[in-house]
Structure 1
């Protein structure tokens, strides 16, 4: 099957984060596919959807060497129906459009094709981990990724590359934090003084967070959702916000998160609860990543591709392997643009280019 045809199948099988049945059905598809490719695959149950782990044996004199680890995910940010309503599959002028085509079902197809290409060639073993809740920080997969990275020689992510095709050599740390406020409801006109507005309290807390973040040059903070209240004539008794933080180093990460977790209510009788929903530690630049990039660049030249690398702002499961000290690179998915945007797309020709690069990595590292 052509790479583009398989990619279309995968994109049209919509798998939003949290859609357990859809994700598990896609996991079934991956289990079958990895079996066809000669791997031993298993599912790892999780409440957010099952993860998939597959081991492919090495061949020839390198069969007993430490494996390479490839990290991927099969969830997307798009709800079921996005394909029909707003982002139909479309091929035009060498560009493929569709929900999840870039982030990151294109990467799944790249890896499968590379595994086909190395069949019959000598190479070290390959281990694959495909996560079901990566788009919300992989909260159920952290222990799995940690366990499966033990003993590997290097880890590679199949996330999208930089716009020019460069790989990602480090990533900011990423944490999702929820601030929940409990106030006290009351009639907003007849008895406002007995009420405690959870929304007003939340707003003051968000202002405090902004002031805190402004003390650091390299911290990013995005208030992603706000909920609360119900009627304009009722003092709201509950409110909450989900925030996304990005950090360049673990020291700043600890300082900011400790300060946020230590927030205190401004209003008497307001109750404040701060929880960290997911955390990916900062993966900082390292000599190990530089050395790995040099080897990958050499592999790239063997198939006619120039490979560069640079730091990335976004987070992924490679944050964890890089933080753990495993030599790590990310961005082996196809070139394109529009991750998490309605113009999401990949350059069709880059699918084969990336598959050739991944195959060269498997056979030469």
Structure 2
């Protein structure tokens, strides 16, 4: 009987073909029609490779979310794999050169999703899926912060023994992602009082001047020693240059490593107060993703994954990273979660986004061995 790695190496060309097929089905997060076409391609691939029919979560604004369950038994593994991308239609071409496959969403994260599908197929074909259920959770809005899929993902994952996230490995490495920062987004609206800048400026209260003070305050909240970053990434204000500005706006990004730090920053940002009379400030937003912390459950799963890697003759390292994923949600529920188990490569959200073709079978085999669990 072949091992999963033997099987996957033998079918490496079919894996690559499926990756190309899914990448060719472009799927910008905000283009429902395109995302649904990609979802149809994904359903076709899963049907062909695993014989599973999708559970469809219909959406009005975004592409429909999809879930697939394969196998029977007491052990439930959930695999997270979104199929939306940050790229507009035809913004990026798919191409193959120098042992790499380039294309929109190939690394983030369509290759990882296909590798996971083939990992489960390999286990089944090798007679090693007995006692295991695997549910693929495939949302279409992850790149937007999962506004419509978070509760759906949490509901499907509840009760799982573990969650494996097929997001790419740490760039240019094979490393898993053992912790991720939580993500917050805030919209700050500042209202002052307009006046003529030449005739009666004393009657105005400048929203732009207040905005400048608040930017300094917000950036003063940064705490790099504990991994906290606060960034005012967008700022707008005023209109005509001869008018004291009565409106200004800030867009703020927050990243934290622990929920205690999130609570501190939420209080600081939501509690922003005007520095002068005549200014009104309204803050909306909050934490869109909780941090994925190195909990005992997550640490135990990573150690199990390291043992699985050793069975393949490789060493698996782990790293804490800044960006968030849907694994943040499941980790916060107390479910053992391990991220960064997808494709290898570099260029997430960049025009040189690519995967390393030669690594595809081994990365899929690693997922298969983790799903299989420890062997007595």
TM-score by length of 1: 0.89
In structure 2, the CA distance between the partners of 1:277 and 1:77, relative to structure 1 (3 Å rule), is farther
Distance 1:157 1:195 in 2: 53
1:283 has 2:324 as partner: no
Q: Is the CA contact (8 Å cut-off) linking 1:66 and 1:151 kept in structure 2?
A: no
221-230 vs 172-181, which deviates more?
221-230
Distance 1:214 1:205 in 2: 17
Query: How many Å apart are 1:158 and its aligned residue?
Result: 0.8
265-274 vs 230-239, which deviates more?
230-239
Distance 1:108 1:11 in 2: 11
Secondary structure of 2:364's counterpart equals helix
**Residue 170 of structure 2, aligned match among 162, 167, 188:** 162
Query: How many Å apart are 1:291 and its aligned residue?
Result: 2.0
Q: Is the CA contact (8 Å cut-off) linking 2:59 and 2:65 kept in structure 1?
A: no
Corresponding residue number in structure 1 for 2:341 = 332
Corresponding residue number in structure 1 for 2:119 = 114
Corresponding residue number in structure 1 for 2:6 = none
Q: Is the CA contact (8 Å cut-off) linking 2:33 and 2:63 kept in structure 1?
A: no
**Residue 148 of structure 1, aligned match among 150, 156, 160:** 156
Secondary structure of 1:109's counterpart equals helix
Corresponding residue number in structure 1 for 2:317 = 308
Query: How many Å apart are 1:288 and its aligned residue?
Result: 2.0
Q: How many residue pairs get matched? A: 357
Corresponding residue number in structure 1 for 2:8 = none
Secondary structure of 1:334's counterpart equals coil
Q: Is the CA contact (8 Å cut-off) linking 1:39 and 1:56 kept in structure 2?
A: yes
Secondary structure of 1:170's counterpart equals strand
Q: Is the CA contact (8 Å cut-off) linking 1:138 and 1:278 kept in structure 2?
A: no
Considering only aligned residues, what root-mean-square deviation do their CA atoms show, in Å? 2.4
Q: Is the CA contact (8 Å cut-off) linking 1:17 and 1:133 kept in structure 2?
A: yes
Corresponding residue number in structure 2 for 1:55 = 68
In structure 2, the CA distance between the partners of 1:253 and 1:191, relative to structure 1 (3 Å rule), is same
Matches within 5 A, 1:95-244: 95-120=100-125, 121-123=127-129, 124-163=132-171, 164-214=173-223, 217-244=226-253
Distance 1:131 1:21 in 2: 15
Distance 1:222 1:213 in 2: 8
Query: How many Å apart are 1:280 and its aligned residue?
Result: 1.3
Corresponding residue number in structure 2 for 1:342 = 351
Query: Unaligned stretches of 5+ in structure 1?
Result: none
In structure 2, the CA distance between the partners of 1:46 and 1:205, relative to structure 1 (3 Å rule), is farther
CA-to-aligned-CA distance 1:33-91 (integer Å, 9 cap, x gap): 33332223122234541353323232xxxx321310011112222233421xxxx3222
1:41 has 2:46 as partner: no
1:321 has 2:320 as partner: no
In structure 2, the CA distance between the partners of 1:234 and 1:46, relative to structure 1 (3 Å rule), is farther
Secondary structure of 2:221's counterpart equals helix
CA-to-aligned-CA distance 1:8-45 (integer Å, 9 cap, x gap): 33333332232222223222322333333222312223
Distance 1:154 1:292 in 2: 8
CA-to-aligned-CA distance 1:108-135 (integer Å, 9 cap, x gap): 2212222332334242011111122222
Corresponding residue number in structure 2 for 1:252 = 261
Q: Is the CA contact (8 Å cut-off) linking 2:25 and 2:37 kept in structure 1?
A: no
CA-to-aligned-CA distance 1:143-176 (integer Å, 9 cap, x gap): 1122111111100111111232111122222111
Distance 1:126 1:242 in 2: 39
Corresponding residue number in structure 1 for 2:9 = none
Corresponding residue number in structure 2 for 1:64 = 73
Query: How many Å apart are 1:318 and its aligned residue?
Result: 0.8
Distance 1:122 1:54 in 2: 22
Distance 2:223 2:134 in 1: 44
1:14 has 2:30 as partner: no
